[in-house]
Amino acid sequence: MVARGAALSDLSPTPSGPGRRHKAEAMAEAAAAAGRTGASPGSAAVRDSDLDRAGRRLRVLSAHLLGRPQEVLSTNECKARRAASAATAAATATPAAQESGTIPKKRQEVMKWNGWGYNDSKFFFNKKGEAELTGKRYPLSGLTLPTLKEWIQNTLGVSLEHKTTSKASLNPSDTPPSIVNEDFLCELKETNISYSQEADDRVFRAHGHCLHEIFLLREGMFQRIPDIVLWPTCHDDVVKIVNLACKYNLCIIPIGGGTSVSYGLMCPADETRTIISLDTSQMNRILWVDENNLTAHVEAGITGQDLERQLKESGYCTGHEPDSLEFSTVGGWISTRASGMKKNIYGNIEDLVVHMKMVTPRGVIEKSCQGPRMSTGPDIHHFIMGSEGTLGVITEATIKIRPTPEYQKYGSVAFPNFEQGVACLREIAKQVKTKTKTKTKIIRKYIYTFKILLRNCGNVISNLHIQLYYICDFYPVLYERIVL
């Protein structure tokens, strides 16, 4: 809330200076000075306390109205300073040393060019016929799965004798030739933005991970692929690229982690203009964290795993965990309106985004404040979300964060078949929000029902007790009273 008599213009930023401040803060200081002038000793302490509280409120309000909070970097201030020092050192660093984050520029060096995941991680059947996962990246790596082969054959009815082998490697001569506007290329070189016209870089960014795209990649080749790949490192680089593309009438297809399953990365076969693949993977920094308002401002190219790992260092998380968390990016989450496995608690991406910045051919689109919600509409964010890169390039976003859970517990309940598992979860979901007073009767009823459903499941009843305890959130004393 704004105090009476304070116009909206009084909350606007002052026009200059590295210590950019709001007029509202100046008003608070002026009020404090006026209050101390001529004040009696007995009332001075009370007035100062009130003014301190008012000042704190105005600073929090100013954090919303500004594009960047002023006094809330605390724990994560080092991240912004580290990013600034990295940018300063970039001028003297080698191209390889400038890269950071999970996804390098040369993705094919660590990731499969014709499938999902890392080059060093794959399943194979050993001499005993047991499945193993290679590499050292995952907890499952190096372990055997003795019954997986039998399950695949019996349950899925798949014959493991039939193999569809992929091409061993990419042959550059098989790729469509690059069509590049030479005038554009000359101006691009002046910007010092990294780019590539190599065939493997272009092919890697010509597809998502739909089955049709992967099989086409493994057994043939796309009719049309990007002509050039660009790696911007910040918002301003994207602005330069979009302006040049408009000037020379070129196409831009943004790409983050490349995990799309909507054919959004495939190039139109009949497109004769130069197609730019704008790779945001090098825009992967956390720019600031606001611990008062529990928000983080990040670049759109940061991957889910990098974001969660860096936030965890400061005791925070987003809680957004799509299946593609390893490789998908914040910009990709927004442009595809992504959902995560913990959405019931943390929300979908539309529930997490507070602010975003998008570069379009007509300029930069962003809200004028960092407020989490407005009563007026329509909301421009909902217009951008799910646009799949058709409206512009998302460069930065402010998202909600939460304190990291104090502990995590994992468990499982085994069911005889899929249908009974779904039926169980459906019944639990209906009662999750039921008041505690009525939970005892409900739990007794459903445990009895589930016991009949699961009578052939052996020890699963005890596991179900534990699962119901965590899912339905009733107290241990209540749990102890439940007797079958």
The annotation status of 16 as a binding-site residue, yes or no, is: no
Q: How far apart are the first and last CA of the chain?
A: 54
CA 278 to mean position of chain CA atoms:
18
Assess contact for 403 and 446: CB atoms under 8 A. Answer: no
Assess contact for 125 and 111: CB atoms under 8 A. Answer: no
Q: How many CA atoms lie within 13 A of 178 on its CB side?
A: 19
Q: Which two tokens stand for residue 104?
A: 């390098």
Q: How far apart are CA 382 and CA 403, in angstroms?
A: 26
Closest CA to 392 of 187, 225, 189, 245: 245
The annotation status of 391 as a binding-site residue, yes or no, is: yes
The annotation status of 335 as a binding-site residue, yes or no, is: no
The annotation status of 389 as a binding-site residue, yes or no, is: yes
CA geometry: angle 6, 12, 16, nearest 5 deg? 135
Residue 17: helix, strand or coil by DSSP? coil
Q: Which two tokens stand for residue 76?
A: 């994560």
Please provide the DSSP assignment of 409-476 as one string: -------SSHHHHHHHHHHHHHHTTS-HHHHHHHHHHHHHHHHHHTTTSTTHHHHHHHHHHHHHT--H
Q: How far apart are CA 179 and CA 201, in angstroms?
A: 15
The annotation status of 393 as a binding-site residue, yes or no, is: yes
The annotation status of 257 as a binding-site residue, yes or no, is: yes
The annotation status of 190 as a binding-site residue, yes or no, is: no
The annotation status of 337 as a binding-site residue, yes or no, is: yes
The annotation status of 329 as a binding-site residue, yes or no, is: yes
Assess contact for 301 and 327: CB atoms under 8 A. Answer: no
The annotation status of 255 as a binding-site residue, yes or no, is: yes
Q: How many helices (H) and strands (E) does the chain have?
A: 17, 14
The annotation status of 376 as a binding-site residue, yes or no, is: no
The annotation status of 401 as a binding-site residue, yes or no, is: no
The annotation status of 326 as a binding-site residue, yes or no, is: yes
The annotation status of 388 as a binding-site residue, yes or no, is: yes
The annotation status of 159 as a binding-site residue, yes or no, is: no
The annotation status of 254 as a binding-site residue, yes or no, is: yes
The annotation status of 338 as a binding-site residue, yes or no, is: yes
The annotation status of 325 as a binding-site residue, yes or no, is: yes
The annotation status of 256 as a binding-site residue, yes or no, is: yes
Residues annotated in a binding site for FAD: 254-260, 323-329, 336-339, 388-394
Residues annotated in a binding site: 254-260, 323-329, 336-339, 388-394
